Amino acid sequence: MDTALLIWNRVVSWTGIFTNIIGDRDPKFTSALWTNLHQLLGTKLSFSSAYHPQTAGLAERMIQTLEDMVRRLFEYGLEFKDCDGFTHEW
């Protein structure tokens, strides 16, 4: 429950609550953490279809874009101590 509260305080307070979250079929999404988190949020966890690369592709593309952006910021001299406020703006 502690990790779920941490996610609530650090992530949801900035992004808002999603009504439906789509995850892959990784067993970690059925863990106690995710069960507690979904109970706190009142959200529904759906699973993407197996062998449906379009669903995974959208998420993978977004992750790649964010990784590229962060890499470029660090190449231009951003330091970790500067990231806290910056990440909350996303």
Q: What is the pLDDT of residue 90?
A: 46
Secondary structure letter of residue 46 according to DSSP: E
Q: What is the pLDDT of residue 81?
A: 60
pLDDT beneath 70: ranges in the chain: 1, 51-56, 58, 78-90
Q: What is the pLDDT of residue 55?
A: 64
Question: Is residue 41 packed enough to be buried (19+ CB in 10 Å), middle (13-18) or exposed (0-12)?
Answer: middle
What's the sign of the alpha-carbon dihedral 36, 32, 62, 69?
A: positive
